[in-house]
């Protein structure tokens, strides 16, 4: 599989379901690399156990800006790394909506993640209203501000996820996504790896998969069941 697939399980799954799904994915993947599981934080340790010694990787859905200290309720990035996380999502739109923060907060979060050895997956994307107003590029520019100063383009992933495409069944067009990839690369550098996320399914993934500008996918709902995830992986294996 040439494209990376990040499975964002959000808080969709229970304990048993998470372990079973992780084990089924390990079996499906065999020795194939490129699948990253993002379980909810309280289940990271049990998923780490299931994927240990396999080709499947793991990441966290967020992490604290801080390392060890008096930060009740936060996720210590150093511990996440020790637990087996290679990646961490930064600024997923559901998080940005729940607790609005300036771009500098997410840059600080990515900086700490990089310091402890985690690869940040920085989530960006505009709302429907912003796109309709012609502001999509400006919004993305603002979300990326400062990132070019903290890391080289091959040290992180950008996940372009238009807010209106997340969980709605309405994926962005390939044209819109490739245009945004070109824009992001023009700011961050050609080597920047960009994922697309937003209502990715077996039906929509094929058209994106043929685009060299798209390095992979961040998949929510469809990644939480083998019946919807495996057909996507089948498409990616054959493309
Ligand atoms: P979705 O979610 O695939 O369910 O649209 C994507 C995401 O939130 O990362």
* pLDDT tens, position by position, 146-168: 998 898 889 999 999 999 999 99
- Residue 206 is predicted with a pLDDT of 95
92 in active site: yes
Which residues, 6 or more positions from 11, have their beta carbon under 8 angstroms from its beta carbon? 40
- 10 C-alpha to center of ligand 1: Å? 9
pLDDT tens per residue across span 12-22: 999 999 999 99
Active-site residue, selected from the candidate residues 57, 78, 126, 161: 161
Output the pLDDT for position 47: 98
Tokens of 49: 């156990």
**H-helix segments, 13-132:** 15-29, 44-51, 77-83, 93-98, 103-116, 128-132
Phi, psi angles (nearest 5°) of residue 121: -115, 100
Most informative mutation of 6, 39, 62, 200 for ligand 1 (most atoms within 8 A of CB): 200
Average pLDDT, the chain: 96
Q: Is the pTM of this model over 0.85?
A: yes
Residues 6+ apart with CB under 8 A from 179: none
- pLDDT above 90 for 1: no
pLDDT, one tens digit per residue, over 180-227 is 999 999 999 999 999 999 999 999 999 999 999 999 999 999 999 999
Domains and their CATH numbers in the chain: 4-238 (3.20.20.70)
What pLDDT, on the 0 to 100 scale, is given for residue 189? 93
35: three-class secondary structure by DSSP: strand
Question: What is the distance between the alpha carbons of residues 96 and 42, in angstroms, rounded to a whole number?
Answer: 21
Angle of helix 202-209 relative to helix 226-238, nearest 10 degrees, comes to 20
Instruction: Measure 150 CA to ligand 1 centroid, in angstroms.
Output: 27
Q: How far apart are CA 105 and CA 85, in angstroms?
A: 21
Q: What is the pLDDT of residue 151?
A: 87
Q: How far apart are the CA of 85 and the centre of ligand 1, in A?
A: 20
User: Is a pLDDT exceeding 90 seen at residue 2?
Assistant: no
């Amino acid at each position: 599989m040439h494209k990376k697939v990040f499975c964002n399980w959000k808080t969709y799954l229970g304990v048993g379901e998470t372990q079973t799904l992780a084990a089924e994915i390990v079996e499906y993947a065999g020795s194939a690399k490129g699948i990253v599981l993002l379980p909810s934080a309280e289940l990271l340790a049990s998923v780490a156990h299931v994927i240990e010694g396999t080709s499947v990787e793991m990441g966290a859905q967020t992490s604290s800006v801080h390392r060890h200290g008096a930060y009740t309720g936060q996720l210590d990035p150093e511990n996440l790394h020790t637990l087996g996380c290679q990646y961490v999502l930064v600024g997923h739109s559901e998080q940005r909506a729940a607790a609005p923060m300036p771009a500098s907060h997410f840059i600080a979060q990515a900086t700490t993640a990089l310091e402890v050895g985690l690869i940040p997956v920085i989530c960006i994307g505009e709302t429907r209203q912003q796109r309709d107003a012609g502001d999509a590029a400006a919004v993305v520019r603002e979300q990326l501000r400062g990132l070019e100063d903290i890391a080289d383009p091959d040290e992180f992933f950008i996940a372009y996820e238009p807010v209106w495409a997340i969980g709605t069944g309405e994926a962005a067009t390939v044209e819109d996504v490739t245009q945004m990839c070109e824009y992001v690369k023009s700011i961050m550098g050609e080597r920047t790896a960009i994922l697309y996320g937003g209502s990715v399914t077996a039906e929509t993934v094929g058209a994106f998969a043929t685009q060299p500008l798209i390095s992979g996918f961040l998949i929510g709902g469809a990644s939480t069941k083998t019946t919807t995830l495996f057909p996507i992986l089948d498409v990616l294996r054959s493309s």
